[in-house]
Amino acid sequence: MPRSVRRLFAISILARTPGAAIGLLFIVRTQELTGSYAASGLVAGVASIAGALSAPRIGRLVDRRGQTRVLAATGGLTVTAIVGFALLPDSVPLAGPLLCAAIAGAAAPPLGACLRTLYRDLLDEAALHRAYALESAALEITYVAGPLLLLGLATVTSAAVALFVGAAILAGGTAAYAATRESRAWRGATAGAGAGAAGAIRSPGLRTIVIALTLVGATFGAIEVAVPAASRAAGVNGATGPLLAIWGLGSMLGGFLAASAGAPADAARWLTLLLLGLTAGDLLLVPAASLAVLAPLLLVAGAGIAPLLGTANGLVDRVAPEGALTEAFAWLSTAIGIGIAAGSSAAGVVIDAAGPSAGFAVAAAACLLAAGVTATRRASLAPAGRVPSVA
């Protein structure tokens, strides 16, 4: 990748590193303030739902007004809400954490969507596939490093201190990204060139990808519930973190392998094949009789995740309506967020009734359904023409 893209890539990944930990810190901080895990779960859920619902609208703002102003505004609001959360006093009513969490989630700066929007104008076709795959792999590092560092800091200091540090990293990273020449030069839709009142989702191809990734999100949510359940059933509660890290490691390795390979000749067909491969990997988890067996199978089950997400991003790039590329990428965050919530809930119900294996079965079923969606709607994933957006 060109040096400019490597710089943007590094800044964006750094700025997104606290993201996976902030929701967990909201849980820890709320429990500190209220003593209630029910309240903690509610606060985390509000932040997640607010982010999922607002992401496409913020993406549309970027498409219409450019990246820098929107990133400055959303970054400022989010950082203020996180700092406000950290400063809440012990006796605060639950409305205080809920308000801060809702603002932090709803105003989350769309750094990933903004970066992917720039790829189209900064990279040639051969490099696009590699960039999407590398980004998906690098994000797995943030999902491990962010919680490890900030929750570790919360353990030795407090959740409030960890929130301050997370806010500082997010603020610095967002400001650095928004100040880059490439981000400042990017221009969204010209007058009359936007995606209309319906926005990016009017694209049949984007609807196909959103449906599929909502189901993929359900797969993620189910596994994130089934792994702790399997650990508890084995009497080793401390195994949950390492097991999920192994799952993420599989995804990261798969992403690096995908980046080293060439772009698929038929990305729509490849997406379906990856979904079928992910289904097979999840099915391997169902009969796992011990954690020693589950661990290597999670490595296998995770291997298709980053290549899948990289392929989905590449398809969004080609099916998004003209003038709505950032919004189109933002829809993927919405899809995965909603899917995780649904998958977690569904897996929890079946695990209570039939044990951890049933949770892994839910994950496999959701992924198989996603493969069916992409296979039957494959024609919708044909390219849509767009013009460059960098001034």
Cβ atoms of 205 and 380 within 8 Å: the answer is: yes
**CA–CA dist 278, 287 (Å, integer):** 16
**Tell me, what's the pLDDT at 389?**
39
Cα diameter, the chain: 61
In the numeric block, the tokens 């490595």 are attached to 299
Reading the block at residue 25, the tokens are 């810190």
* Helix extents (H) in the chain: 3-16, 19-34, 37-65, 67-87, 95-106, 111-122, 125-156, 159-178, 181-185, 204-233, 240-260, 267-285, 291-302, 305-319, 325-354, 356-376
Q: Residues 315-339: pLDDT tens digits?
A: 998 899 888 999 999 999 999 989 9
Q: Domains of the chain, with CATH numbers?
A: 3-185 (1.20.1250.20), 199-381 (1.20.1250.20)
Residues in the chain where the model's pLDDT stays below 70: 189-198, 384-391
Cα dist. 68→78, 175, 289, 382 in Å?
15, 9, 51, 31
With a CB cutoff of 8 Å and minimum separation 6, the contacts of 354 are none
Bridge-partner residues for 186, per DSSP?
390
**Tell me, what's the pLDDT at 390?**
39
**Tell me, what's the pLDDT at 362?**
95
- In this structure, is the dihedral angle defined by the CA atoms of residues 62, 64, 68 and 73, taken in order, positive or negative? negative
